[in-house]
Structure 1
C-alpha cells in the first residue's frame, strides 16, 4: 500500500476532519438542532467520506493496476477485488 504510506499525512488529516464532522453531528443531535442543520452535517460527512474513498481508490488503482510489473493474472485478481469493493460501497 505504497500510495497510503506516501499520502499518509494528507489521509490522516481527512480522517480527522471526518471525525470532527461526526462529533458535530452528534452534538447537533444531542442538542436537538434543526433537522436541516442535521441533514447538512450528514451531507458534509458523506461528501468527505466519498472524497477520501476516491483518493485512496485512485492511488490503489494507479499503484496496483497501473504498475508495469503486474502480471495479467494479478491484474485480474485486483480488478475482481475492486469490483467487489465498489459493489459493497455503492449499496
Structure 2
C-alpha cells in the first residue's frame, strides 16, 4: 500500500482521530467529566475510525482492485461504497 503515504485526506483523518483520543484520555482523568460526555467522545472517535476505514477501503479498491480503467463500473462501485459506509 505504498500509495497511502501520499494521501493527505487519510493523514488528516488520522490526525483528527489522534486529537479525539487525546481529548478522551484527558476527559476520563478529570473527576468532573460526566459519563455522557465520555460516551459522546467515544462515539465521535468510533465515527472517525469508521471514516478512516472507509477512506482506506476506497483507496485500496481504486488503486489495487480496479486496475483496468475500461472495466470500471462506477455505478456499482458507488453502490458498494455506500453499503460499506452504511454498515461501518
2:73 aligns with none
- CA shift, 1:2, in A, is 5.3
Unmatched segments (≥5 aa) in structure 2: 70-87
Count how many residue pairs are aligned between Structure 1 and Structure 2.
69
1:26 aligns with 25
Please give the residue correspondences for 1:1-80 in structure 2 after superposition, counting only pairs within 5 Å: 1=1, 3-7=3-7, 9-32=8-31, 33-68=33-68
CA distance in 2 between counterparts of 1:19 and 1:63 reads: 26
CA distance in 2 between counterparts of 1:2 and 1:23 reads: 28
| 8 Å Cα contact 1:25/1:42 also seen in 2 | yes
Residues 16-37 of structure 1 deviation map (CA, whole Å, 9 limit, x = unaligned): 1111100110111000310000
Residues 52-80 of structure 1 deviation map (CA, whole Å, 9 limit, x = unaligned): 010011110121111029xxxxxxxxxxx
Unmatched segments (≥5 aa) in structure 1: 70-89
Q: Secondary structure at the match of 1:31?
A: coil
C-alpha spacing 1:2/1:68, structure 2 compared with 1 (3 Å): farther
**With structure 2 as the length reference, what TM-score do the two structures score?**
0.69
